[in-house]
Amino acid sequence: MLAAACLSPTDPFDDIDVTIAVAPTVVRLDAPVTVAVSVINSSPRMFFLSTNPCPVRFEVATRTGMVVGPALQICALIAMPSRGLAPGERFVFTASWDGRGREGPLPVGEYRIRGVPFGRSGPHGTPVVVTLQE
């Protein structure tokens, strides 16, 4: 028998919080935006986290939720050890985004940036709206 559950008492992400900070939130194409994705261990136990900076730990989506960015990256296979987060400890992934999507520059408009420090399967945090201007 095969069973699957999400956010159960045994879920490894049950007590892991993700927050995201983006600055500035109104920007012109090619101007850098700083994206900081924080992972906070709210559990009473040690949590182990992969701290490899590639791929970036955020995604850019349209209002309808279609993921359009950031631009695709080529990541080197670097064996980075996991980092232990003690109870209450925070780790921050910081990256820059230039308004480019997976297929080139994005059109003017509003986009949602959300943290994905564990890919799409783990906690994401609340998205931040960023406006691209001409």
Per-residue pLDDT of 20-51, as tens digits, reads: 999 999 998 878 899 999 999 998 988 888 77
For the chain, the domains span: 16-133
How would residue 77 be classed by pLDDT, with cut points 50, 70 and 90? low
Q: Does the pLDDT at position 6 exceed 50?
A: no
pLDDT at 62: 95
Residue 2 has pLDDT above 50, yes or no: no
pLDDT at residue 4, as a whole number: 39
| Backbone angle region of 99, left / alpha / beta, with phi > 0 → left and psi within -120 to 50 → alpha | left
What is the mean predicted confidence (pLDDT) over 15-19? 89
Q: Give the separation between CA 134 and CA 132, rounded to whole angstroms.
A: 7
Compare 21 and 71 and report the one with higher pLDDT.
21
Residues 98-116: tens digit of each pLDDT: 989 998 899 999 999 999 8
Res 17 pLDDT > 60 = yes
Distance of alpha carbon 26 from alpha carbon 96, whole angstroms: 14
Which pLDDT score, from 0 to 100, does residue 118 have?
Answer: 78
Q: H or E stretch including 87?
A: none
- Mean per-residue pLDDT of the chain: 83
Q: What is the pLDDT of residue 12?
A: 67
Is the domain 16-133 a CATH 2.60.40.2970 member? Answer: yes
